[in-house]
Amino acid sequence: MARRQPTDTRISIADTAEGLRILMPCRKSWFVICFLAFWLCGWAVAEVMVANQFLKGDSPPEGELFMLAWFGVWTVGGVVAMYAWLWQLMGKEMLTVRGQTFKIRRDIGGFGFDKEFTLGQMRDLRIRSAGSSPLDFSSSFQLWGIGGGVVTFDCGERTYRFGTGLDEAEATRIVTAIRQRFRISESSPGILSS
Instruction: Give the pLDDT confidence of 23-57 residue by residue, as tens digits.
Output: 999 888 899 899 999 999 999 999 999 888 878 87
* Residue 149 pLDDT > 60: yes
Alpha-carbon gap, residue 33 to 41, rounded angstroms? 13
What pLDDT sits at residue 135? 58
Question: What is the overall mean pLDDT for the chain?
Answer: 83
Q: How many CA atoms lie within 13 A of 188 on its CB side?
A: 0
What pLDDT sits at residue 86? 94
- More confident call, 147 vs 194: 147
Q: Indicate the pLDDT class of residue 140, thresholds 50, 70 and 90.
A: low
Helices then strands, each counted (H, E), the chain? 3, 8
How large is the average pLDDT for residues 51-80? 85
Alpha-carbon gap, residue 74 to 54, rounded angstroms? 14
